[in-house]
């Protein structure tokens, strides 16, 4: 029965997609997110471990985390986006409250590279929407803290400054996810921080471009470098199926990261690279455009999807559609992003009454057996970010403007 149901749903999606004019009702989808976020707010414990991270498959209860967890910035970021989409002040109040829980991270010794995910998604969005000067100081301090992990002999930021399996500590490791945290450095360098932050971000992106990709532009998850000579020792996976497989979320970080690097630098090499890492991802997707967790898992189609990768890519494609110089590609990127968001907004992927997250069917760390086919907060973050970007484009606005009421 499930097979027939899935075939039926796929046929409906294909029917919708064959109409080039199918438009997602972004206002309705954003209103849905607000309803779900409101439900989550009512479930939050009065505790210091109170930031929602994930809901395992078939459950309703969030697993809550403290501010040091790498996912701590997504929930405040979600609240800032819901505030931007609805202009309801209660979401602003909550976004401010949850962002402030993360303040100590900006000044304590860096535990890993995730400071952008943590402090830019929270305070960065908060500053964009409110211009609160306190937020700006926290973001600038966070950028300086992230810069302490830069190794000039290698040219990249050390992602995990501690022993992690297969990373040959104390050698230098860099993971593709780290591309996203460069946005914090670019922003800080343009808003009162040191020019060195910009140079670090560019060095990281260029070194990663050289060492982190196979000839077909698919990404390795992790590269280990000799910390003294800067020589590449090996390229391996941590969360993917195999060392040489295309882990869906890893590739999504590359797509988003290089589009952002082009936006920040206007270096055409980054735009060209963003298009290459995107095109290899787009050519092998299932009909509903939501990837399997790893493109090379031999058990496909009987493996979980990763809705979080789809959210990251949808958001990145909307940006890339406005950056590319190739008009035909711009149309493809915009249309594919809309199709991804139509799929994510269907009953197949939205959580609705099943739980209070926005989305189902994300995969966090399959080799570890954790967060498999689950609701995960970063999927919700990139989904609503993409919805807001699409709504702005539908209104003829730049994706970089704030949505006014
Ligand atoms: N480590 C970030 C991720 O799971 O994508």
* Whether residue 96 lies in the annotated active site: no
Q: Which two tokens stand for residue 91?
A: 């979401």
| Residue 154 covered by a domain | yes
Bridge partner residues of 65 (DSSP): 51
- Rounded to the nearest whole angstrom, what is the distance from the C-alpha of residue 311 to the centroid of ligand 1? 14
Euclidean distance between CA atoms 135 and 126, whole angstroms: 7
Q: Which of 177, 294, 306, 373 is catalytic?
A: 177
* Whether residue 19 lies in the annotated active site: no
Distances 265 to 14, 25, 31, 167, 259 between C-alpha atoms, Å:
38, 33, 35, 31, 10
| Residue 94 covered by a domain | yes
* Ligand 1 neighbour 306 (Cβ under 6 A): no
Euclidean distance between CA atoms 103 and 74, whole angstroms: 14
Which ligand 1 atom sits nearest the alpha carbon of residue 249?
5
pTM: 0.95
pLDDT at 9: 57
Do 84 and 73 sit in the same domain of this protein? yes
Do 83 and 135 sit in the same domain of this protein? yes
* Ligand 1 neighbour 94 (Cβ under 6 A): no
Euclidean distance between CA atoms 400 and 405, whole angstroms: 16
Strand ranges in 66-148 using DSSP code E only, listed in sequence order: none
pLDDT tens digits, the chain, 405 residues: what are they?
Answer: 454 555 555 555 544 544 445 689 999 999 999 999 999 999 999 988 999 999 999 999 999 999 999 999 999 999 999 999 999 999 999 999 999 999 999 999 999 999 999 999 999 999 999 999 999 999 999 999 999 999 999 999 999 999 999 999 999 999 999 999 999 999 999 999 999 999 999 999 999 999 999 999 999 999 999 999 999 999 999 999 999 999 999 999 999 999 999 999 999 999 999 999 999 999 999 999 999 999 999 999 999 999 999 999 999 999 999 999 999 999 999 999 999 999 999 999 999 999 999 999 999 999 999 999 999 999 999 999 999 999 999 999 999 999 987
Do 137 and 162 sit in the same domain of this protein? no
Q: Which two tokens stand for residue 215?
A: 């000839």
pLDDT at 405: 77
Euclidean distance between CA atoms 20 and 394, whole angstroms: 15
Which ligand 1 atom sits nearest the alpha carbon of residue 365?
4
Closest CA to 33 of 401, 362, 391, 350: 350
Euclidean distance between CA atoms 54 and 332, whole angstroms: 32
Which residue has the least CA distance to atom 1 on ligand 1? 177
Domain boundary among 238, 270, 293: 238
Euclidean distance between CA atoms 81 and 331, whole angstroms: 26
Q: Which two tokens stand for residue 333?
A: 């990127």
Do 64 and 143 sit in the same domain of this protein? yes
pLDDT at 381: 99
| Residue 25 covered by a domain | no
Euclidean distance between CA atoms 234 and 243, whole angstroms: 10
Do 141 and 97 sit in the same domain of this protein? yes
* Ligand 1 neighbour 249 (Cβ under 6 A): yes
The whole-angstrom distance between residue 207's C-alpha and the CA centroid of its chain comes to 21
- Rounded to the nearest whole angstrom, what is the distance from the C-alpha of residue 98 to the centroid of ligand 1? 21
| Residue 75 covered by a domain | yes
- Rounded to the nearest whole angstrom, what is the distance from the C-alpha of residue 327 to the centroid of ligand 1? 32
Domain boundary among 238, 254, 273: 238
Do 142 and 206 sit in the same domain of this protein? no
Which residue has the least CA distance to atom 4 on ligand 1? 364
* Ligand 1 neighbour 177 (Cβ under 6 A): yes
Which ligand 1 atom sits nearest the alpha carbon of residue 253?
5
Structural domain including 76 reads: 58-110+120-148
Closest CA to 390 of 319, 308, 332, 328: 319
Count structural domains, the chain: 2
Do 214 and 178 sit in the same domain of this protein? yes
Do 161 and 215 sit in the same domain of this protein? yes
* Ligand 1 neighbour 251 (Cβ under 6 A): no
pLDDT at 21: 54
| Residue 83 covered by a domain | yes
Euclidean distance between CA atoms 46 and 30, whole angstroms: 27
Contact between residue 86 and residue 33 where contact means Cβ atoms under 8 Å apart: no
The DSSP annotation for 233-289 comes to: EEEE-SSSSSTTS-BHHHHHHHHHHHHHHHHHH--HHHHHHHHHHHHHHHTT--TTS
- Rounded to the nearest whole angstrom, what is the distance from the C-alpha of residue 128 to the centroid of ligand 1? 25
HSE-up (13 A, CA, CB side) for residue 237: 21
Euclidean distance between CA atoms 391 and 403, whole angstroms: 9
| Residue 115 covered by a domain | no
Instruction: Indicate the pairing of strand 172-175 with strand 222-225.
Output: antiparallel
Distances 49 to 45, 46, 93, 154, 171 between C-alpha atoms, Å:
8, 8, 19, 36, 33
Euclidean distance between CA atoms 21 and 24, whole angstroms: 10
Euclidean distance between CA atoms 238 and 306, whole angstroms: 16
Do 157 and 135 sit in the same domain of this protein? no
| Residue 365 covered by a domain | no
Which of 53, 54, 69, 70 to mutate to test ligand 1, by most ligand atoms within 8 A of the CB atom? 70
- Rounded to the nearest whole angstrom, what is the distance from the C-alpha of residue 29 to the centroid of ligand 1? 25
Q: Which of 114, 294, 297, 306 is catalytic?
A: 114
Do 167 and 219 sit in the same domain of this protein? yes
Do 139 and 189 sit in the same domain of this protein? no
| Residue 2 covered by a domain | no
- Rounded to the nearest whole angstrom, what is the distance from the C-alpha of residue 71 to the centroid of ligand 1? 9
pLDDT at 1: 44
Contact between residue 358 and residue 352 where contact means Cβ atoms under 8 Å apart: no
Do 142 and 79 sit in the same domain of this protein? yes
Angle (CA) 399-403-405 rounded to 5° is 160
Domain boundary among 192, 214, 238: 238
């Amino acid at each position: 029965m499930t097979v027939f149901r899935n075939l039926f749903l796929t046929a409906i999606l294909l029917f919708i997609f064959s109409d080039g004019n199918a438009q997602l009702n972004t206002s309705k989808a954003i209103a849905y997110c607000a309803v779900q976020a409101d439900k989550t707010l009512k479930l939050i414990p009065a505790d210091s471990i109170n930031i929602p991270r994930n809901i395992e498959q078939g459950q309703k209860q969030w697993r809550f985390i403290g501010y040091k967890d790498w996912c701590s910035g997504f929930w405040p970021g979600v609240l800032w986006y819901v505030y931007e989409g609805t202009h309801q002040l209660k979401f602003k109040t909550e976004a401010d409250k949850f962002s402030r829980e993360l303040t100590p991270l900006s000044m304590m010794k860096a535990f890993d590279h995730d400071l952008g995910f943590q402090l830019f998604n929270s305070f960065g969005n908060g500053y964009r929407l409110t211009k609160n000067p306190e937020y700006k100081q926290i973001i600038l301090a966070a950028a300086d803290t992230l810069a302490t992990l830069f190794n000039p002999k290698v040219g990249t930021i050390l992602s995990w400054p501690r022993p992690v399996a297969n990373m040959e500590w104390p050698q230098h490791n860099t993971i593709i996810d780290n591309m996203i945290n460069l946005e914090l450095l670019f922003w800080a360098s343009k808003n009162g921080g040191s020019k060195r932050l910009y140079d670090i971000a560019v060095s990281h992106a260029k070194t990663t471009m050289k060492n982190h990709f196979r000839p077909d532009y698919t990404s390795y998850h992790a590269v280990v470098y000799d910390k003294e000579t800067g020589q590449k020792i090996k390229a391996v996976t941590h969360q993917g199926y195999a060392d040489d497989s295309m882990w869906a979320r890893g590739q999504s970080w590359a797509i988003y990261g290089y589009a952002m690097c082009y936006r920040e630098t206007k270096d055409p090499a980054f735009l060209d690279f963003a298009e290459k890492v995107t095109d290899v991802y787009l050519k092998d997707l299932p009909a509903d455009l939501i990837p399997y967790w790893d493109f090379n898992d031999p058990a496909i189609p009987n493996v979980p999807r990763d809705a979080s990768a789809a959210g990251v890519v949808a958001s990145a494609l909307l940006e890339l559609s406005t950056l590319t110089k190739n008009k035909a590609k711009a149309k493809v990127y915009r249309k594919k992003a809309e199709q991804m968001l139509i799929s994510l907004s269907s009953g197949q992927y939205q959580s609705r009454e099943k739980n209070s997250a926005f989305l189902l069917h994300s995969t966090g760390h399959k080799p570890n057996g954790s967060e498999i086919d689950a609701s995960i907060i970063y999927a919700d973050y990139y989904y609503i970010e993409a919805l807001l970007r699409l709504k702005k484009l539908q209104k003829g606005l730049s994706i970089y403007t704030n949505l006014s009421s």
